[in-house]
């Protein structure tokens, strides 16, 4: 006989009611019983939703992994194990400090304010000295880096410096004092909305892709709470989505259902997404393109699900930014040879169900670092992003003082504080720099940049496919990122990455599967042939003489070594973050 799984998870209310009437119980005992059934039913429902989202097999595997992790964590608390861990982590700390913190008698350290102010000449010379302290390998100008520096050229850099100089002290918190900054920010948002085919939409600027994503989560959470009454929000995220979604969910108190991707196409598994949707779902997430392997989720299918179940859909275009909107005009969006390889599928506000999109202006828009745009389908949804405190006394006093100063006395009940995003004060110079970069580049500049960068990325991908049999490209990346993994059991791709590091390359390692990626930029264009030659040589070296001691091999090997591997990697990450603040 078929039985609905939900009926097993939640007790029948009629059964509970009949059982209570049949029992001669005091009101207090009945209340305890009702509370017991309420707790059991709500927790059972949560368990059912969790199982439905992940499937029985994956849930059992995750449960077993959790048990193994707890057992190992208990084991490593033994004094002998703790001593060994402290010794190893001490070595890791020294290794990280050696790579990041300059040492030697010639290194100057400025740990206290100088007794007297320094001249401009001294300051510039000291900056130049600090640039040289870690050696020439730290110079991004050689182009041997993955992403990181999105350089629009020396002429554009001079434009940015001029904008910074003009608006160095500006703050959009005071639009009456800096009206040009307010206007520029509004125009930046408008230009991005038109790039993503939603001229009547709304948005704001933020400090970067992470803040844009966090704002999208906050907006959908508050929208769902007011419109749908959801108090225990959940979101559904592909495993390849940026870590900022986990970070934002942690900040905003939203449960995350992490959905696996297809191992071949690298698109999120739609069957699992559909299964994970429930009455607490506030939003789905898709990427165009994702950070790890540069592939695109099926935004159209995700949009249909979002529309059907009346939930939000956020499309993360932080990395796709000023590449994917221009691909169609370059003739590169339809794939190679008329096939599906490298084909770009619809991703913007023309897709039904898309409610928000994040776009980093500071990547392929070549704006100064610290600028991004979060866009919404309409202004009504954007209102849920705002923070407004209507009864704050601070701004009330400022308003009254300003009015008293100009002899306009007005009685008010209270003050008000409002901000569109996380920050209150913001650097207007970044807004001015972003506006200047977009005006300087124009559509024709971004179009040509897109063509050059994507052509460069496809040259790398095609060369790996045709000329490096030990490796394969993950998925069918349509834009600027190429990730490669090993299909030869004698070649550890992390070993390849470490060999590339010795040749001066700064690449990104990935996991699940083990892989390495490069995000091509304008800096990559002049060294793409060198990259291909170095990659071929590194594969041979990794095959013939693996060292097993490189950073990628050690760190990512640790992460997959046991159930506590990720915990140990987390400890290493904490040491790395500590080191960033070692003067």
Q: Give φ, ψ of 95 to 5 degrees.
A: -65, -45
Query: What's the average model confidence in pLDDT over 160-169?
Result: 97
Q: What single DSSP character describes residue 83?
A: H
Residue 2 pLDDT: 43
The strand pair at 234-238 and 281-287 is best described as parallel
Residue 353 Cα distances to 224, 238, 440, angstroms: 15, 17, 34
Rounded Cα distance between 113 and 227, Å, is 53
Residue 410 confidence class, pLDDT cut points 50, 70, 90: very low
Classify residue 260 by its DSSP letter: -
When the pLDDT of each residue in the chain is averaged and rounded to a whole number, the result is 88
Plot region of 412 (φ>0 → left; ψ -120 to 50 → alpha; else → beta)? beta
Pick the more confident residue, 503 or 567: 503
- Residue-level pLDDT at 134: 82
- Could you give the angle at which helices 179-195 and 428-467 cross, rounded to 10 degrees? 30
CA distance 194 to 204: 14
The pLDDT value recorded for residue 1 is 40
429-448 average pLDDT score: 98
| pLDDT tens digits, one per residue of 205-251 | 999 999 999 999 999 999 999 999 999 999 999 999 999 999 999 99
pLDDT > 50? residue 409: no
Q: In whole angstroms, give the CA distance from residue 311 to residue 435.
A: 33
**Cis, bond preceding 404 (omega within 30 deg of 0):** no
- What are the beta bridge partners of residue 315? 286, 357
Give every CB contact of residue 487 below 8 A, 6+ residues apart in sequence: 469, 470, 471, 472
pLDDT for res 426: 95
Give the pLDDT of residue 395.
54
pLDDT of residue 50: 77
pLDDT tens-digit series, residues 57-68 = 777 877 877 787
- Predicted pLDDT at 138: 64
Q: Is pLDDT of 405 > 50?
A: no
**Out of 136-150, 345-359, 364-378, 449-463, which region has the weakest mean confidence (pLDDT)?**
136-150
**Does residue 413 or residue 476 have the better pLDDT?**
476
- In the numeric block, the tokens 């929000």 are attached to 233
Query: Would you state the pLDDT for residue 560?
Result: 56
The residue-averaged pLDDT of 83-105 equals: 88
pLDDT tens digit string along 278-312? 999 999 999 999 999 999 999 999 999 999 999 99
The per-residue pLDDT for range 318-344, each reduced to its tens digit, is 999 999 999 999 999 998 876 789 999
pLDDT of residue 16: 55
- Whether residue 520 contacts residue 481, with contact meaning beta carbons closer than 8 Å, is answered with yes
Q: Percentage of residues in the chain with pLDDT exceeding 70?
A: 88
75-79, 247-251, 501-505, range with the lowest pLDDT: 75-79
pTM for the whole structure: 0.86
User: What pLDDT, on the 0 to 100 scale, is given for residue 529?
Assistant: 97
Question: Hey, is 256 helix, strand or coil?
Answer: strand
Q: Of 187-196, 209-218, 388-397, 443-452, which gets the smallest average pLDDT?
A: 388-397
- Spatial distance between the Cα atoms of 428 and 423, rounded to a whole number of angstroms: 12
């Amino acid at each position: 006989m078929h039985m609905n799984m939900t009926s097993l998870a939640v007790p029948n209310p009629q059964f509970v009611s009949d059982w209570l009437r049949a029992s001669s119980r005091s009101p207090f005992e009945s209340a305890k019983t009702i509370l017991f059934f309420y707790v059991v039913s709500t927790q059972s429902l949560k368990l059912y939703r969790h199982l439905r989202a992940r499937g029985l097999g994956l849930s059992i595997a995750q449960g077993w992994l959790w048990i193994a992790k707890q057992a190992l964590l208990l084991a490593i608390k033994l004094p002998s194990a703790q001593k060994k861990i402290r010794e190893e982590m001490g070595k890791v700390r020294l290794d990280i400090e050696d790579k990041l913190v300059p040492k030697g008698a010639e290194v100057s350290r400025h740990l206290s304010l100088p007794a007297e102010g320094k001249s401009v000449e001294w300051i510039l010379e000291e900056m130049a000295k600090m640039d040289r302290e870690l050696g020439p390998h730290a110079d991004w100008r050689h182009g041997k880096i993955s992403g990181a520096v999105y350089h629009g050229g020396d002429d554009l850099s001079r434009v940015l410096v001029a904008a910074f100089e003009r608006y160095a002290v500006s703050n959009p918190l005071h639009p009456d004092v800096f009206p040009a900054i307010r206007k520029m920010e509004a125009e930046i948002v408008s230009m991005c909305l038109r790039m993503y085919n939603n001229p009547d939409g709304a948005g704001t600027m933020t400090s970067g892709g992470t803040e844009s994503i966090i704002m999208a989560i906050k907006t959908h959470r508050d929208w769902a709470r007011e419109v749908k009454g959801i108090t225990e929000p959940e979101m559904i995220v592909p495993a390849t989505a940026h870590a900022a979604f986990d970070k934002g969910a942690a900040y905003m108190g939203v449960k995350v259902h992490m959905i696996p991707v297809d191992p071949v196409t690298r698109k999120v598994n739609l069957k699992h997404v559909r299964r994970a949707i429930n009455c607490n779902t506030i939003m789905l997430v898709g990427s165009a393109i994702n950070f790890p392997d540069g592939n695109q989720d099926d935004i159209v299918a995700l949009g249909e699900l979002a529309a059907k179940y009346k939930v939000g859909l956020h499309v993360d275009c932080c990395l796709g930014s000023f590449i994917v909107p221009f691909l169609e005009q370059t003739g590169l969006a339809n794939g190679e040879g008329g096939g599906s390889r490298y084909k770009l599928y619809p991703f913007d506000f023309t897709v039904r169900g898309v409610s928000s999109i994040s776009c980093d202006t500071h990547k392929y828009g070549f704006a100064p670092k610290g600028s991004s745009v979060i866009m919404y389908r309409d202004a009504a949804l954007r209102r849920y992003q705002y923070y407004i405190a209507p009864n704050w006394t601070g701004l009330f006093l400022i308003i009254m003082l300003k009015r008293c100063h100009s002899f306009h006395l007005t009685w008010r009940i209270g003050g008000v504080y409002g901000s569109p995003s996380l920050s209150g004060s913001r650097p207007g110079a970044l807004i001015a720099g972003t506006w200047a970069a977009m005006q300087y580049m124009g559509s024709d500049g971004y179009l040509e940049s897109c063509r050059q960068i994507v052509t460069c990325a496809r040259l790398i991908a095609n060369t790996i496919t045709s000329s490096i049999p030990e490796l394969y490209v993950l998925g069918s990346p349509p834009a600027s990122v190429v990730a490669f993994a090993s299909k030869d059991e004698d070649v550890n791709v992390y070993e390849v990455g470490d060999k590339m590091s010795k040749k001066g390359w700064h690449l990104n390692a990935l996991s699940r599967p083990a892989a390495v990626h490069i995000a091509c930029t304008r800096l990559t264009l002049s060294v793409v042939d060198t990259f291909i030659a170095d990659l071929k040589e590194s594969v041979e070296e990794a095959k013939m003489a693996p060292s097993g001691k490189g950073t990628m091999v050690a760190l990512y090997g640790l992460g997959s070594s046991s159930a506590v591997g990720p915990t140990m990697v987390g400890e290493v990450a904490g040491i790395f973050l500590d080191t960033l603040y070692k003067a």
